[in-house]
Amino acid sequence: MKCAFRASARCGCECPQVCDDHVVTEPATSRPHVIVLFGATGDLARRKLLPGLFHITASKLAPECRIVGTSLDDLGDSGFAALARAACDEFSTRVIDPGGWAEFEKRLHYVPQSAGAAALAAAVREQQAELGDDVELLHYLSVPPKAAVAVVRTLAEADLVAHSRIIMEKPFGTDLASATALNATIRETFAEDQIFRIDHFLGKEPALNVLAMRFANGLFEPIWNRTFIDHVQIDVPELLSVQGRAEFYESTGAFRDMVVTHLFQILAFTAMEPPTDLTPAAISEAKNKVFRSMLPIDPANVVRGQYRGYRNEPGVSTESETETFVALRCDIDNWRWAGVPFYLRTGKCLAEGQRIISIAFRQPPKSMFAEESGVGAEGPDHLTFDLADASKVSLSFYGKRPGPGMRLDKLSLQFGLYETDTAKDVLEAYERLILDAMHGDHTLFTTSEGIERLWEVSAPLLADPPPVKSYEPGSWGPNAIHQLVAPNAWRLPFERAWRGIEAQ
């Protein structure tokens, strides 16, 4: 094992400057950790982070750890423990074992932000001392983007940078200039391999299943290219409105909030070349090659929408042009994907909440079936990934209808994770990603190069966005989305529902 981080100030070695020889050659999976949770009383912490931390510590998936929470609220250890218990009771998807909770509660500590950097440092050092030698730090910044730089400066002032990693929430800037500036500012304190830019979409079991389906099966990889695939859709409609987040949403909109940080990352998993291996560096490079091959987004290939009633939200201007919906076409200019359009759609207040990747295969060049046979009547064959936690995959195709004559129906083969004996072992996205960060595994995280390239290809759209079109809450967005994908059609809404557990 070589030293943990590249810079001597961060790894404790004797080299006087940043040195490429000082990198992790294997993950340190058993070192104890102190997790410093900024924004510890916020919505994300209550809904996902605290329940997730309880599960991975109680189940012994995580190494021995202590949790030091900090936020604007004036709490003590007992108040923080009560908040964490209420959060787990409300949001955990698992039964809370009393014995496990008693152990977890002992790990929780709290320092109000008003106490300053010195108090935070003292609390962390106390927990480090209790854990013994070789303790690492994991800082989770569950804070608004505008507060991230201030938190980083607090960590530097508290001398909590050495032997640490930092998890940052999106958005990573709002354009190329701000993303470049943010990355430069963070790297004044942390080395790039200490920074983990989180995208919870990539931590989901179904997203990883895309890699497994593609690269582990001789059935799919040979046909995963422009010769056999007609187009790809990545569709993430949401039922919810902005729900009191109007101030945040007004400064971002659907494109910055969802497309750059989530949908483009899913696109990279779908489109990337086979990596040389499954190491973090190889997968990151394969994703970045996709981003480098993306053509700049043409505003003519973008539909922006705003649901009726958005301008009545508190904090929203009556003349707001912020989009709550966006659909667009992306093109990847490389050997594998030239000429294959990628259609992306996401928005608030839509008809359904879904997370779908749909691969549409080319139809045979000539059909010997009669027009009335039904072949092609329900669109092309599809391979569909449901990225919801249920993790389902469907392969649709045409097959003969039983009976006389040659009538064809659209059929499908479906798989659901609930059909396996290991469904209970699924980790929620934040649980997986926190564990990966503790182990120093960047596989499912975003690099500064990738983020800056995505803002670069987004520049034409940000400079000249098309006007927003209104749409009714509960619809699928503005009518212009149909012209965007013509002569194809949107995969959602599905004509046939997924088969559920009750159908098995």
Where in the sequence numbering do the catalytic residues fall?
262
Helices (H), 188-324: 205-215, 246-250, 253-254, 264-271, 280-293
Helix, strand or coil, per DSSP, at residue 2? coil
What is residue 198's DSSP assignment? -
Q: Find out whether 197 is annotated in a ligand binding site.
A: no
Residue in the structure block whose two tokens are 């530097």: 156
212 annotated as belonging to a binding site for a ligand: no
- What's the CA gap between 163 and 155, in Å, rounded? 12
Q: Each residue of 148-169: b (16+ CB within 10 Å) or e?
A: beebbebbeebebbbbbbbbbb
- Please check if 48 is assigned to a binding site: no
Q: Is 421 annotated as a binding residue?
A: no
Binding site annotation covers 348? yes
**To the nearest 5 percent, what fractions of the chain are helix, strand and coil?**
40, 20, 40
According to the annotation, is 497 in a ligand binding site?
A: no
Residue 232 CA to residue 250 CA, distance in Å, equals 30
CB 212 within 8 A of CB 219: no
40 is in an annotated binding site: yes
- Distance (Å, rounded) from C-alpha 383 to C-alpha 364? 16
Does the annotation list 170 as a binding residue? yes
Q: Say which residues have a Cβ less than 8 Å from residue 5's Cβ, sequence separation at least 6.
A: 11, 22, 162, 163, 191, 193, 194
Ligand-binding annotation for 347, yes or no, is: no
Instruction: Using the structure block, give the residue that is written with the tokens 């045979």.
Output: 364
Burial (0-12, 13-18, 19+ Cβ within 10 Å), 325: buried
d(CA 170, CA 167): 10
- The reply to whether 477 sits in an annotated binding site is no
Question: Was 41 annotated as part of a binding site?
Answer: yes
* Alpha-carbon torsion (178, 181, 187, 192), positive or negative: positive
238 in a labelled binding site: yes
Pair 126, 85: CB distance under 8 Å: no
Contact 498, 392 (CB under 8 A): yes
Please state the residue numbers annotated as binding site for substrate. 200, 204, 238, 257, 348
Task: Point out the annotated binding site for NADP(+).
Answer: 39-46, 170
Query: Which residue ranges are tagged as binding site?
Result: 39-46, 170, 200, 204, 238, 257, 348
